[in-house]
Structure 1
Amino acid sequence: MIFEDLLSNLSTNPYFGAGFGLFGIGAGAAILRKGLQGSLILFRRHLMITLEVPCRDKSYQWLLKWISIKGARKTQHLSVETSFTQNDNGQIKTSYAFIPSVGKHVFQYKGNWIQIERTREQQTLDLHMGIPWESVTLTAFGNNKHIYYDILEEARQLALQSTEGKTIMYTAIGAEWRPFGHPRRRRPISSVILDEGISERIIVDCNDFIHNSIWYTQRGIPYRRGYLLYGPPGCGKSSFITALAGELEYSVCLLNLSDKGLTDDRLNHLLNVAPEQTIILLEDIDAAFASRESTSHQKSAYEGMNRITFSGLLNCLDGVASTEARIVFMTTNYLDRLDPALIRPGRIDVKEYVGHCTDHQLKEMFKKFFENSDDVEVSKFVKGVKSLHRSVSPAQIQGFFMKHKSSTPLTVINSCNDIFDNGLN
């Protein structure tokens, strides 16, 4: 009875009733808010799928280009991305791509509504690229991860289309590889005429290496291949490697061992993060290091300019931490200056001499520049060059042909003495 009377008195008390009512409303609102927040979290966790792509990821630029072309084309908030493309005739053309700016955008893909949120941290910099840190976050309904795989794959294919039929040249900037210049048209392998059989042997060996990774794995052999092209300057070593990259549908990574900022650790890192399907090219390898036998009485012209060590280079090529699935080409004009440890089997698997023009090269180059010439004219040209009793490089022959590109084959044959004139030597 006492408890019932107390409740009756409290219920009729206007102050207590007002306070209890306010407390009930506040508690109910708090419970409802927490419930909505929890429901939203559960909804996003189980009924929505999110993908974040940071600017350091390789697919970041692919995704931005895909978004600008396939995705949020109707958005009114844009930022510009200026690029340069090279036509087949070599002319550079400027193009502008409008991509969604920083913020949120919504578009539809294969019947799914997707929200794009592009964020930029002004207080955080990407130390390698020197730009503010960015990321793109995609949010869609459902839990099907395959939709994001389709988007990234479409973005990759779209990026490949822009470089289809071209060779990308990479150079080392900091700790990463960046495209150097514009993608170049693939140079036909037939445009570089080496002595008979050299080009064919290298192509066959490269293809055999590329298509037989399992063979290496089963026998416990490191899956990497090293090539050395040596011979006088102007004989087509670098040109052949560029053409070979186009033949294999590979790109080229140019690495300058005389770079003052190159260290053993950075060299090893660069070799390990080289883009897939690339040829790593070390040109004029003799200029970076002197042979150990000659260091006692002869100093290298580049001694002290770089910070990498000879042992560091050897370890990068075939040490414990060296990367696999790699093709390395080295070139030199002076084979005798190279340390035997550098060109031993395992580091250099194939050595080919690329020298001055042989009869075969003279014939093939003459027929390529003067397609309507007959066998008699070809033979006369070869005899004319041989009568000079001097070695001639393919670069000199090409310069000579360029000088007489509007002349007749007979005029060229009668002008063989001009090969060494006008600074062509």
Structure 2
Amino acid sequence: MTEQPRSSSGPAAAEAVPEVTAVSDATSNEGFLQSIMSSNPYFTAGFGLMGLGAVLAVGRQTLVRASSLAYRQLLVDLEITSKDKSYDWFLEWMSRHPARSSRNFSVETNYVEHDNGSITATFDLVPGPGRHLLKYSGAYIMVKRERSGRLMDLRMGSPFETITLTTLYRDRQIFSKMLREAQSRAQTKQQGKTVLYTSYGPEWRPFGLPRRKRSIESVVLADGVKEGLLDDMTSFLKSAQWYTDRGIPYRRGYLLYGPPGSGKTSVIQALAGHLDYNICILNLAEATLTDDRLNHLMNNVPARSLLLLEDVDSAFSNRKQSSDQGYVSGVTFSGLLNALDGVASADERIIFMTTNHPERLDPALIRPGRVDFQALLDNATPAQIHRMFTRFYNDDKLAHAFVEECIQRNKPVSTAQLQGLFVFHKDDPQGAIAAIHNM
């Protein structure tokens, strides 16, 4: 008996039909999408641009990283800010080493007034803000000078500036060589000069041009006064370790007192020049000076500088502020004492005070530890008069005659008066002798 095929109308057949239909639908949808994407130019261009953008982004990032790596490996930078001492040295050095590709320049004027009254001015052109290329010791250096429009350099009262030097890493040693050369040149220009500093806000600023150092032999004082001051200062400067070993603050105070014109300021200038020191002048009677600013200034005196407080009696009299000038200083007496030897007072410091009226000074101001050496600079003695005359005219015989005339005059005469007389009769010693009675 022949077996008949089974009917497809069962449940299995019913399930198989939808599966075939779903596969055929997916295939037809995929083909439809592919046909649309391949035939539509907007789809093709969009995916192409996306791919190109991705490639460019990756390439740019790779290039940036590669250039940054190459910069770090091949180049080196040196930054010099305008608040650093080497900033002025470098600008002056650059004026002697012209850049190869400079379009912006700044002018620096050197103004000198000579003793005879004549004036000399020289002009140096230094690279201004911008980029400059120079060659030094066989190496090329890119110089970038930038000026801030918001920040100010309080030391100079000018916009804050930055100089960035860039050269090959292999040539980095020329930075030290260049800075040493700039420093040496700056020191050579100031050799034989004394720099005077004055306070400007919380900073010390050079006052005018450096002065020619005054010879210690040019100051004629009473016997032993100048020698005593010089010996004491020399001994102090050699005793830093001695003070440290004994726990004593390493500072020294000097008081020079006497009538006006007796040479107090002159001997300080001569001592500073002899010891190769500069001078910082602080006016205690300044109306804007406060205790905090005074303490800050006295704790930040430039290196190798004497601090000079002139006419201390004009600021304080018996612990009271003086108003002789029509105004009163903002410094209190206790503030001055604390700045001199308080907890916050600085070490490695030499202070000179001068006064024409020592009797007005409070004993607390001139006690040991604040004033360690006092010297009277009085009116000229016969020995001083003789030495000053021979120094100007080199005539010992006439010097004795001049001293006799001064004695017969029977009036005190200051060294400043004598110097003025000798300058007026610089080539006429007989005229100076005749004019002594008219002083």
Question: TM-score w.r.t. structure 2 length?
Answer: 0.85
> Which residue identity is paired with 1:406?
D
How far off is 1:182 after superposition?
2.1
| Cα distance in 1 for residues equivalent to 2:170 and 2:315 | 55
- Once the two structures are overlaid, the 10-residue window that deviates more, 398-407 or 237-246, is 398-407
1:285 and 2:306 correspond: no
Pair 1:24–1:283, CA change in 2 (3 A):
same
Instruction: Say whether residues 1:70 and 2:70 are aligned partners.
Output: no
Identity, % of aligned positions = 46
> Within 5 A, what are the aligned runs for 1:238-249?
238-249=265-276
- Equivalent residues of 1:46, 1:143 under 8 A apart: no
Match of 1:388 among 389, 409, 415: 409
Q: Which residue of 2 aligns with 1:419?
A: 436
Q: How far has the Cα of 1:104 moved from its partner?
A: 0.9
Q: Choose 197-206 or 400-409, whichever is displaced more.
A: 400-409
CA contact under 8 A between 2:196 and 2:207: conserved in structure 1? yes
Over the aligned positions, Cα root-mean-square deviation in angstroms equals: 2.9
TM-aligned CA deviation for residue 10 of structure 1 = 6.7
Matched with 1:404 is 425
Asked if the contact 2:409/2:437 (under 8 Å) is kept, the reply is no
Question: Which runs of 5 or more residues in structure 2 are unaligned?
Answer: 1-29
Q: Does the CA-based 8 Å contact 1:10-1:17 persist in structure 2?
A: no
Aligned residue for 2:205?
178
Shift of 1:304: 5.4
Match of 1:25 among 20, 27, 52: 52
**Offset from partner CA, 1:16-49 (integer Å, 9 cap, x none):** 7665554443222211211111122223334322
The CA deviation at 1:79 is 2.1
Answer with 66-75 or 33-42: which moved more.
66-75
**Higher gyration radius (CA):** 2
Which residue number in structure 2 is paired with residue 3 of structure 1?
none
53-62 vs 331-340, which moves further:
53-62
The alignment partner of 2:178 has SS state of helix
Q: Which residue does 1:100 correspond to in 2?
A: 127
User: Distance between the aligned counterparts of 1:131 and 1:147, measured in 2?
Assistant: 29
Residue segments in structure 1 that go unaligned for 5+ positions in a row = 1-5
Distance 1:222 1:303, change over 3 A: farther
Tell me, in whole angstroms, the C-alpha distance in 1 between the residues paired with 2:117 and 2:177: 35
SS state at 1:151 partner: helix
| Distance 1:10-1:66 versus aligned 2 partners, 3 A rule | farther
Question: Secondary structure, in 3 states, of the residue corresponding to 1:387?
Answer: helix
Which one-letter code corresponds to 2:354 in the other structure?
T
| Contact 2:102-2:131 within 8 A present in 1 as well | no
- Give distance in 2, aligned partners of 1:277 and 1:285: 23
* Structure-1 separation of matches of 2:183 and 2:348: 21
Q: 1:191 aligns with which of 200, 210, 218?
A: 218
The AA in structure 2 aligned to 1:140 is T
- The Cα shift of 1:90 comes to 5.1
Which residue is equivalent to 1:324?
A: 347
The verdict on how the C-alpha distance between 1:262 and 1:231 changes in structure 2, with shifts beyond 3 A counting, is same
In the TM superposition, residue 71 of structure 1 has moved relative to its aligned partner by: 5.2
Q: Which amino acid aligns with 2:357?
A: Y
Q: CA deviation at 1:351?
A: 0.6
Larger CA deviation: 362-371 vs 48-57: 48-57
Q: Distance in 2 between matches of 1:282 and 1:352?
A: 15
Amino acid at match of 1:312: G
Cα distance in 1 for residues equivalent to 2:98 and 2:249: 43
State whether residues 186 and 243 of structure 1, in contact with CA within 8 Å, keep that contact through their aligned partners in structure 2. yes
Find the aligned partners of 1:66 and 1:403 in 2 and give their Cα distance.
43
- The CA distance in 1 between the partners of 2:106 and 2:287, in whole Å, is 37
Contact 2:155 2:205 (C-alpha < 8 Å) held by counterparts: no
Judged with a 3 Å threshold, the aligned counterparts in structure 2 of structure 1 residues 56 and 299 are, in CA distance, closer, same or farther, namely closer
Alpha-carbon shift at residue 412 of structure 1 (Å): 4.1
Cross-structure match for 2:398? 377
> Which shifted more, 271-280 or 10-19?
10-19
Match of 2:160? 133
Contact 1:55 1:133 in 2 (8 A): yes
The 5-angstrom pairing of residues 229-244 of structure 1 reads 229-244=256-271
The question of 1:56 aligning with 2:77 is answered no
Which residue pairs with 1:156 in the alignment? 183
CA distance in 2, matches of 1:223, 1:380: 48
Equivalent AA in structure 2 for residue 326 of structure 1: R
| 1:348 aligned partner | 371
- Aligned residue pairs: how many? 410
Whole-angstrom distance in 2 between the partners of 1:278 and 1:90: 29
Query: Which residue does the alignment assign to 1:44?
Result: 71
Matched, 1:365 2:382: no
2:331 to 305, 308, 315: 308
Match of 1:169 among 196, 200, 213: 196
Q: Which of 134, 144, 163 is residue 117 of structure 1 equivalent to?
A: 144
Contact 1:279 1:329 in 2 (8 A): yes
Matched to 2:110, the amino acid is S
How far does residue 301 in structure 1 lie from its aligned partner after superposition?
Answer: 2.6
Paired amino acid for 1:170: Y
What SS class does the counterpart of residue 70 from structure 1 fall into? coil
Change (3 A) 1:87 1:144: same
Question: Which residue identity lines up with residue 362 of structure 2 in the other structure?
Answer: D
Secondary structure at the counterpart of residue 317 of structure 2: coil
Distance, in Å, in 2 between the alignment partners of 1:360 and 1:46 is 73
Given residue 69 of structure 2, which amino acid in structure 1 is its aligned partner?
A: L
| 2:262 alignment partner, SS class | coil
Shift of 1:237: 0.6
Deviation at residue 115 of structure 1 after TM alignment:
1.0
Pair 1:201-2:218 in alignment: no
- Is 1:220 aligned to 2:237, yes or no? no
Measure how far apart 1:290 and its partner are: 0.7
Native 8 Å contact 1:71 1:109 kept in 2:
no
Q: How much has 1:167 moved relative to structure 2?
A: 1.4
Q: Which amino acid aligns with 2:158?
A: I
State the AA in 1 paired with 2:311.
D
